[in-house]
Amino acid sequence: MNIRFIRLQPYSPEDNIDKNLLTGRLVEIFKTPVMWNSPVMIPQIAFDNYRNQYLGSYFLKDLLKFKKDNEIILGIVSKDLYEPELNFVFGVASPLTKTAVISTYRLHNSFYGIPENYEIFMDRVTKEAVHEIGHTLGLGHCPNPECVMHFSNSIEDTDRKSYYFCPSCYKKVLSSLGL
């Protein structure tokens, strides 16, 4: 199926994302138009009172309401996400439904007790967005620590990699987009 759009769906409360910057980077990498939906309320049913986090995979279903067949949709939430058995996730994705979600909660320097840096924050947002969109296109994790498809278990892993695919992953991306 040819992907016509990458659709971005912010959930409120929204983080301070530079939407033009992120759009430009995604268009450059995926050669596909990017559209932004208006923010929607975060689904409280995904909230776990005990963990004080939202269930990431819940959003993969929720996002189906906001996308069409020939689109990839990426949800962006400012709250912390988890999956069962994991303390937290930066994001989750489904290649089957072409839905993905990222959390910006742990992408702020302030989360780690150091002064905020907006450039670093937006680089991290880009990396997590590109990574999860890569999963929706069927890519797995890449052993190259500089490739955006390298697994991030910590913010150090995210900072080490670039927001670009390595040549072998990028070949897969372009072929799965039919480019």
- Binding residues for Zn ion, rule: CB under 5 A, are 142, 144, 147, 149, 166, 169
Residues carrying an active site annotation: 132
| Residue 91: partners with Cβ closer than 8 Å, 6 or more residues away | 56, 81, 100, 101, 102, 103, 128, 131, 132
Q: Which is nearer to Zn ion, 58 or 164 (CB)?
A: 164
Of 3 and 142, nearer to Zn ion (C-beta) is: 142
- Least separation, in Å, of the C-beta of 151 and Zn ion? 6
Nearer CB in complex with Zn ion: 78/136: 136
The least CB distance from residue 81 to Zn ion, in Å, is 13
CB of 46 to Zn ion, least distance (A): 20
Give the separation between CA 35 and CA 73, rounded to whole angstroms: 9
Structure tokens at 122: 């937006």
C-alpha to C-alpha distances, 45 to 10, 50, 138, 144, nearest whole angstrom: 17, 13, 28, 37
